[in-house]
Copies of this chain bind each other. A is one copy, B any other.
Amino acid sequence: MDSLKQGWFSEVNDLWPGMSLSLEVQEVLHKEKSSFQDIMVLQTKSHGKALILDGIIQCTESDEFAYQEMISFLPLCCHPSPKRVLIVGGGDGGVAREVAKHPGVEQIDQVEIDSQVIEVSKKYLPSMAVGFTHPKLSLHVEDGFKFMQQHEQAFDVVITDSSDPIGPAVSLFQESYFTLMRRALRPGGIVCSQGGTVWANAEHVAQTLAHCKATFPSAAYAFATVPTYPTGQIGFVLGSMNEENNFKDPVRSFSEAELESMQLRYYTSDIHRAAFTLPRFAQKILASSSSTNASDRNNNPGDL
């Protein structure tokens, strides 16, 4: 499979071997090589514009809301008072857009390493990049590791909106990163990271969750359906400094009128609860991820 031919873009990657999602392309709007990655913006036929980094679909205008709302509101609604929030990554601006909607949030810092992703998003994806314009937001173009090292006990919530665990983002899935996040949290703080899917990468999800469990008093995995991500869904690994946090029951609920005024299209309190309910095979795999030694498991449903 070539990645771009005969009017279709195909996403082929060893993280989900033997399967590939293709989107019909009307126009390649932008293509460049930044200091960190290949950046491409496509005008697709049926999914609006799509942002592609290193050949992997990061978001499309048709379904990005599902991911952005869930990676934001799952941790925010698990925290009784999420005043100060750090976003690591998230260069398209969609997570900032969602975090800024939460009425309890007072200050958002975002640290994105690749200024070109920000610029390209401002130009081609204004419905996401609108997040950068919010007065609550301070945007820092630098390395997330370094930024967190300089901010001890500073944040109530840290959200890591990263690409997949290959290339520049691989370190964001390791135990040292969870330790760094813990250090950056205020008491009672919560982290939420993009965590892959149990359908294609059960072993990897289990390992990331194990790192989180090894670092935080409580941890959990949730998922959202997002058609243009591999296997049609994506997961989130959450950790909390509060050992009483069960994650599944949001401490903050929004009325229908509040959801409407925040223009939420995916998140509700019921969706929050359901997101932590996994198929039995996934439950079993993740229940055993109690240590960092998860690499001896290899029981994806797809491994035949």
Binding site for B on A (CB under 8 A): 1, 6, 8, 10, 17-24, 44-48, 61-63, 65-66, 199-200, 223, 225, 227-233, 259, 264-268, 270-271, 273-274, 277-281, 283, 301-302, 304
With beta carbons under 8 angstroms apart, the residue of B48, B231, B233, B268 that contacts A283 is B268
Q: 8 closest Cβ contacts across the A-B interface?
A: A232-B232, A18-B46, A227-B231, A274-B274, A18-B45, A274-B277, A18-B24, A62-B302
Give Cα A6 to B229, complex, Å: 23
Closest beta carbon of chain B to A215's beta carbon, Å: 27
Give Cα A66 to B233, complex, Å: 14
Give Cα A204 to B20, complex, Å: 26
Smallest Cβ-Cβ distance to A198: which chain B residue: B225
Closest beta carbon of chain B to A50's beta carbon, Å: 11
Contact A302 B225 (CB under 8 A): no
With beta carbons under 8 angstroms apart, the residue of B23, B66, B228, B304 that contacts A279 is B66
Contact B280 A228 (CB under 8 A): no
Contact A45 B17 (CB under 8 A): yes
Smallest Cβ-Cβ distance to A256: which chain B residue: B280
Closest beta carbon of chain B to A288's beta carbon, Å: 15
In the complex, chain B residues whose CB is within 8 Å of the CB of A279: 66, 225, 265-268, 271
Contact A21 B24 (CB under 8 A): no
Most B CB within 10 A of own CB, among A61, A259, A266, A302: A302
Smallest Cβ-Cβ distance to A269: which chain B residue: B277
With beta carbons under 8 angstroms apart, the residue of B21, B23, B63, B302 that contacts A199 is B63
